[in-house]
């Protein structure tokens, strides 16, 4: 996610929404952990508990939300060994979980039964996150665009890259680079988007990090403090509905925030002025863990 100060104010609030710590404690005995035999992931697009991190920003909920995971592991306790749900050494084989509405839930473990035991937490390794958002262009009006943000290096993709894809999953180019006014069109190859004049050698600096090795998303303090490859635990709200399936619900309502300089209600090329660019963020979703029948 520069020498001529073509730096976009980058979200220091990273989307840590893909990692959850599952501390499943029974109401009647807070020291006893709940067992479960399946884990599912879902996304809620409705009302969010998240708090805006900026003033006078426009809030937008994505129409679709995709999660690319390279690993998922349950961590056991009280003698229960850890259980690897899946792990891909090659990020090209990362599993994608695609959500277009709140009625969809996907088995994280492919429907297989988790071994009996007590599990205190789990960690998800994320390759990328993707949102479908409305973007304003000068010549074509408002368009729906698929923004993918990469958290792991792989091939041409660097950590922090913001890449546009079409609805069939084909790459269209890199975003937040040079020459995207007035229609905010993606550019390929990567060097053409992130170097001065597309010369392939004079790389921009994105929030004090070199474009040759990082994209515009995030900042150096973030990338220096997180694991590489990327994985992390975060907190959640746990609800026990006396079941055996653990459902991880990520609420992405209003998770996209941006400054709207021309007042049209949409983010677009007009907000990418290199001298006075708009702020943009991805807000932290509210995460709820529910034990369901």
pLDDT score recorded for residue 16? 32
Does the structure show a pLDDT above 90 at 270?
no
pLDDT at 217 over 70: yes
Q: Identify the pLDDT of residue 238.
A: 65
pLDDT of residue 153: 96
Per-residue pLDDT tens over the stretch 9-30: 333 333 333 333 333 344 333 3
Are the C-beta atoms of 162 and 214 separated by less than 8 Å?
no
pLDDT above 70 as % of the chain: 81
What are the b/e assignments for 101-140, b being 16+ CB within 10 Å? eeeebbebbeeeebeebebbbbbbbbbbbbbbbbbbbeee
Q: How far apart are CA 154 and CA 156, in angstroms?
A: 6
pTM over 0.85: no
Parse the chain into domains and list their residue ranges.
Answer: 25-292
Confidence tier at 278 by pLDDT (50, 70, 90)? confident
| Secondary structure letter of residue 183 according to DSSP | T
155-159, 188-192, 236-240, 258-262: which has the minimum mean pLDDT?
A: 236-240
State yes or no: pLDDT of 283 exceeds 90.
Answer: no
What average pLDDT does this structure show over 62-80? 89
Q: What gap in Å lies between CA 71 and CA 219, rounded to an integer?
A: 24
251: Cβ–Cβ under 8 A, 6 or more apart, which residues?
43, 44, 45, 46, 47, 48, 49, 50, 285, 286, 287, 288
Chain centroid, CA 237 distance in Å: 19
Is the CB of residue 9 less than 8 Å from the CB of residue 277? yes
As a dihedral over the C-alpha atoms of residue 115, residue 84, residue 284, residue 169, rounded to 10 degrees, the angle is -120
């Amino acid at each position: 996610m520069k020498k001529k100060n073509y730096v976009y104010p980058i979200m220091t609030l990273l989307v840590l929404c893909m990692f959850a710590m599952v501390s499943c404690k029974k109401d009647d005995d807070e020291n006893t952990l709940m067992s479960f035999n399946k884990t599912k992931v879902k996304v809620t697009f409705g009302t969010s508990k998240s708090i805006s991190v900026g003033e006078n920003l426009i809030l937008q909920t994505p129409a679709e939300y995709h999660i690319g995971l390279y690993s998922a592991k349950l961590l056991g306790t009280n003698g229960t060994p850890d259980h690897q749900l899946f792990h891909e050494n090659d990020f090209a084989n990362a599993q994608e979980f695609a959500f277009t509405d709140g009625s969809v839930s996907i088995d994280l473990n492919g429907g297989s039964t988790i071994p009996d035991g007590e599990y205190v937490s789990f960690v998800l390794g994320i390759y990328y996150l993707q949102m479908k958002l409305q973007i304003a262009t000068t010549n074509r009006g408002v368009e729906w665009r698929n923004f993918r943000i990469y958290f792991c290096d792989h091939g041409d993709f660097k950590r922090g890259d913001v890449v546009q894809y079409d609805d069939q999953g084909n790459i269209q180019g890199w975003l937040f680079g040079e020459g995207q006014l007035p229609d905010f069109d993606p550019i390929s190859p990567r060097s053409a988007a992130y170097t001065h004049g597309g010369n392939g050698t004079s790389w921009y600096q994105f929030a004090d990090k070199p474009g040759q090795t990082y994209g515009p998303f995030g900042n150096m303090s973030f990338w220096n403090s997180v694991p590489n490859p990327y994985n992390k635990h975060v907190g959640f709200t746990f609800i026990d509905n006396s079941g055996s399936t653990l459902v991880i619900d990520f609420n992405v309502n209003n998770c996209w925030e941006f400054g709207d300089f021309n007042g049209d209600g949409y983010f677009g090329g007009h907000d990418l002025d290199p001298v006075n660019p708009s702020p943009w963020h991805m807000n932290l979703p509210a995460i709820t863990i529910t034990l369901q029948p």
